[in-house]
A and B are shown apart, each in its own frame.
Chain A
Amino acid sequence: MYPKQEVVAMLLAGGQGSRLGVLTQKLAKPAVPYGGKYRIIDFPLSNCVNSGIEAVGVLTQYQPLVLNEYIGSGQPWDLDSMNSGVRVLSPYEQVKGAYWYSGTANAIYQNINYIDRYNPDYVVILSGDHIYKMDYSKMVAFHKEHKADCTIAVIDVPLAEASRFGIMNTNPDGSIYEFEEKPKQPKSTNASMGIYVFSWDKLRKYLIEDEETEGSSHDFGKDVLPKMLADGQRMFAYQFQGYWKDVGTIDSLWESNMDLLDPNTPLDLNDESWKIYSSNPVVPPQYIADGAQVQNSLIADGCDISGSVDFSVLFNNVVVKQGAVVQDSIIMPGSVIEEGAVVQYAIVSENTVVGRNAVIGARPEDIEDKDKWGIAVIGDNLKIGENAKVAPKAMVSTDIEGVK
């Protein structure tokens, strides 16, 4: 018998994140490194712990090895409790056969047993694609206060961008009367953040119903939520204020990392009362050598910097040798930038070596045809040879030979 949990969180972490290209070739999107020492999933997991949620199911499907290994016992987030904590839930074979998670709703449906054993009143559905700090307990309190069946977190987005999101149109009391998925002419700017609170008895019923509905794609946004709204269930929008960023594309991942360098970004990662936890590698402090130039950057322990680093985010154990220049870039753990190499507007994945005098990416002002400009991305464990050139916007997944 498991002790009752008032709230259980379910974190959808099965997505491939194909728009991140080489960065998600070997790992699921929530495991993508972020901010010099984190992985994206640290944010929803830390939010859960800081909100007092003790039971978290992480639903995995695509390339789960790195993610499984990373989550481990849940100890880095204090989620290794005796009867609750974090559980990795992957698709499994059942009496009727084996099924992959066919949609977000189906993934939860297949794990009804996991949720039931805690006999919760509320279930929080989260995704592993966003960078934000949020107190879910406040959202649950809002849900209770409004006697809602479903509460959807929304954030105010600029009108010009509203057509990229799912828009929630609400009555003055905050209740939702209409969903519009990526509307051409948005009626409001309340974009769904993909964070839902459900009363478990209601959600349970709708999940079972949806599973039996022919032609359903078993998706929350496309099937379950519209059905609940059509049935007149009490659905409310919960207004979130603060930093929230989807990091599902190369550009948004890069931008969100750069946001950390801006002192005006409302996302304080050193806030004692709302720490973002992660697993910490065992490495010595970072060393900045004589002659190095480091400005406006985030640098993690274990780095050894002799070159110049400007407007960049460097993960642990990155080496920047003498005369090398790293600007407006993200360098992931263990990568080495050799002497004289220049890395600009680029993301270099883990354990890659950028050879002497190689040039990766370019500054936008140095490119005439702006359509050809973008963030250059280098995959993990690669070798970029001496004097090699990688064009802006390129996505590199194989070694590049050096040039004499």
Chain B
Amino acid sequence: MRGNNIMGIIFSNLHEDLISELTDRRTMGAVPFGGRYRLIDFPLSNMVNSGINKIGVLTKSNYQSLIDHLGTGKAWDLSRKRDGLFILPPFANTSEYSNRLTTLNSIMPFLKNSTEEYVAISDCDAICNIDYKAICSKHLENGADITLVYKRDQLPPKLHDPAVLSFDSRGKVIDILINPNITGSCSYYMNIMFIKRELLIELINKCISKNTLNFKRDIIQGEYKNLNVYGYEFDGFAPIITSMSDYFNANMQLMNREVRHDLFRGDRPIYTKIRDDMPAKYGLGSKVTNSLIGNGCNIEGEVENCVLFKGVHIGKGTKVSNCVIMQDTKIGSDCNLSYVIVDKDVVIKNERTLAGFLSYPVYISKESTV
């Protein structure tokens, strides 16, 4: 059965400053990941796989590559006569989208004209395969006004204003600390929320009228005492991207078979834009180990612990290890690369050597020539 009583809102633009190299020419949601995906594919596919039919994607600037990626929404089955995909850039100027709360306020007509009872809200910084239907049933079971999805782990050091939650025995939120000084494991909010649509509208209006414009402090922290706010623990694979090294590590974690099975489950697949590439070609004398390879690649050299996106060429005598190489990058022969993140459409000429380190991978920007 298609369709339910939930609509989706995805913030595709937040957290961009944390990986400014990758978001220089694209929005957060359009950051390539895992050999063929963009970060927005994860929240978008999760919502679609949970039966959500109406999804608004908020985007502020640099959104050409995002719009090119999303198209009509066909790849996510969101190109529909009824509902489907709504791309929501700022109406007049980007200052409307200066923070989460004013952004939501500026799409008020979209929220008001919808008929769905609930709204699922997600950012693009957590890479996971999560079932919103399960969150919804827990929300109903708890009689919650708001359900916050959280993860139990050490706080990623660079996460913006992390909200750390404490619960009573029933999972009701009894305390929220923003940006606390905590070492060790804690329950932190993953920027995924489930809320009644009318309540969301009411809270936004209230904050706008009082000019209290911080979503986390004024809505989540400000209202939890007046409302039934519950937590929902997500214990699957869910790296949060707060730095280039997080980004690098999250790609590398895909070499783990269990991680792949958790993220790319057959019953809840991750959809993405289609390119008609031929299967990957492994040449005579090529050597590939522990790597994730996309269709359209042409490999003649050695590849070890790498993620190669679609259409990457690795020349003869070249050795690439511990690298993330994005689509259509061509690496010549007799090169040596280790711990390098190479963006799209880069040309690396013959006999080049580039090396970074695990904690600080070197980044080569889009369309450059080395």
Residues of A within 8 A of B285 (CB): 295
Residues of B within 8 A of A301 (CB): 36, 279-280, 294-295
Assuming A295-B284, A295-B285, what are 20 further A-B pairs, CB within 8 angstroms?
A36-B278, A37-B278, A270-B278, A275-B276, A283-B269, A284-B36, A285-B294, A286-B292, A286-B294, A287-B292, A288-B289, A292-B289, A294-B286, A294-B288, A295-B286, A296-B283, A298-B282, A299-B282, A304-B257, A309-B282
Q: Is A403 an interface residue (CB 8 A)?
A: no
Report the contact-size class of chain A (Cβ under 8 Å from the partner).
Answer: 35 or more
Contact of A284 among B260, B274, B286, B311 (CB under 8 A): B260
Give residues 51-109 of B contacting A (CB, 8 Å).
Answer: 74
Report whether B288 and A288 are in contact in the complex, using a CB–CB cutoff of 8 Å.
yes
Q: How many A-B residue pairs have CB under 8 A?
A: 108
Q: How many residues of B contact A (CB 8 A)?
A: 41
Q: Is A159 an interface residue (CB 8 A)?
A: no
Report whether B289 and A284 are in contact in the complex, using a CB–CB cutoff of 8 Å.
no
Give residues 228-284 of B contacting A (CB, 8 Å).
Answer: 255, 257, 260, 263-264, 269-272, 274-284
Contact with B along A2-43 (1 / 0, CB 8 A): 000000000000000000000000000000000111000000
Q: Is A101 an interface residue (CB 8 A)?
A: no
Q: Is A290 an interface residue (CB 8 A)?
A: yes
Q: Is A86 an interface residue (CB 8 A)?
A: no
Given the known interface contacts A37-B295, A284-B35, A285-B35, the answer about A296 and B278 at a Cβ–Cβ threshold of 8 Å is no
> How distant is the Cα of A283 from the Cα of B278 in the complex, in angstroms?
14
Residues of B within 8 A of A298 (CB): 278-282
Q: Which 9 A-B pairs have the closest CB atoms?
A: A285-B35, A36-B279, A269-B278, A300-B279, A284-B264, A298-B279, A288-B288, A290-B290, A282-B269
Residues of B within 8 A of A270 (CB): 277-278, 296, 298, 311
Tell me the B residues contacting A by CB distance below 8 Å: 34-36, 74, 255, 257, 260, 263-264, 269-272, 274-296, 298, 303, 307-308, 311
Contact of A286 among B34, B269, B280 (CB under 8 A): B280
* Residue on B nearest A304 in the bound complex, by CB: B257
* Residue on A nearest B75 in the bound complex, by CB: A282
Residues of B within 8 A of A304 (CB): 257
Given the known interface contacts A270-B277, A285-B34, A287-B260, the answer about A294 and B292 at a Cβ–Cβ threshold of 8 Å is no
Report whether B276 and A277 are in contact in the complex, using a CB–CB cutoff of 8 Å.
yes
Report whether B279 and A35 are in contact in the complex, using a CB–CB cutoff of 8 Å.
yes
> How distant is the Cα of A288 from the Cα of B299 in the complex, in angstroms?
13
Contact of A290 among B284, B289, B296 (CB under 8 A): B289
Given the known interface contacts A289-B289, A295-B286, the answer about A278 and B276 at a Cβ–Cβ threshold of 8 Å is yes
Q: Is A94 an interface residue (CB 8 A)?
A: no
> How distant is the Cα of A25 from the Cα of B263 in the complex, in angstroms?
36
| Interface residues of chain A: helix, strand, loop or mixed (majority) | loop
What are 15 A-B contacts with C-beta separation under 8 Å?
A270-B277, A276-B276, A284-B34, A285-B35, A285-B293, A285-B307, A290-B290, A292-B289, A294-B282, A298-B278, A298-B282, A299-B282, A301-B279, A304-B257, A315-B279
Report whether A299 and B284 are in contact in the complex, using a CB–CB cutoff of 8 Å.
no
Residues of A within 8 A of B275 (CB): 280
> How distant is the Cα of A287 from the Cα of B285 in the complex, in angstroms?
18
> How distant is the Cα of A12 from the Cα of B282 in the complex, in angstroms?
35
Residues of B within 8 A of A294 (CB): 282, 286, 288
> How distant is the Cα of A285 from the Cα of B278 in the complex, in angstroms?
13
A118 smallest CB distance to B (angstroms): 27
Residues of B within 8 A of A297 (CB): 281-282
* Residue on B nearest A312 in the bound complex, by CB: B282
Centre residue among B264, B280, B292 by max chain A CB count within 10 A: B280
Q: Is A291 an interface residue (CB 8 A)?
A: yes
> How distant is the Cα of A296 from the Cα of B298 in the complex, in angstroms?
10
Report whether A284 and B291 are in contact in the complex, using a CB–CB cutoff of 8 Å.
no
Contact of A289 among B278, B281, B290 (CB under 8 A): B290
Report whether A285 and B279 are in contact in the complex, using a CB–CB cutoff of 8 Å.
no
Residues of B within 8 A of A75 (CB): 74
Contact of B270 among A276, A284, A295 (CB under 8 A): A284
Centre residue among A270, A275, A292 by max chain B CB count within 10 A: A270
> How distant is the Cα of A300 from the Cα of B255 in the complex, in angstroms?
17
Residues of B within 8 A of A280 (CB): 274-276
Report whether A292 and B269 are in contact in the complex, using a CB–CB cutoff of 8 Å.
no
Report whether B36 and A287 are in contact in the complex, using a CB–CB cutoff of 8 Å.
no
Residues of B within 8 A of A290 (CB): 289-290
A306 smallest CB distance to B (angstroms): 10
Contact of B293 among A276, A282, A288, A315 (CB under 8 A): A288
Residues of A within 8 A of B287 (CB): 293
Report whether A286 and B293 are in contact in the complex, using a CB–CB cutoff of 8 Å.
yes
Given the known interface contacts A296-B284, A298-B281, the answer about A288 and B296 at a Cβ–Cβ threshold of 8 Å is no
B3 smallest CB distance to A (angstroms): 21
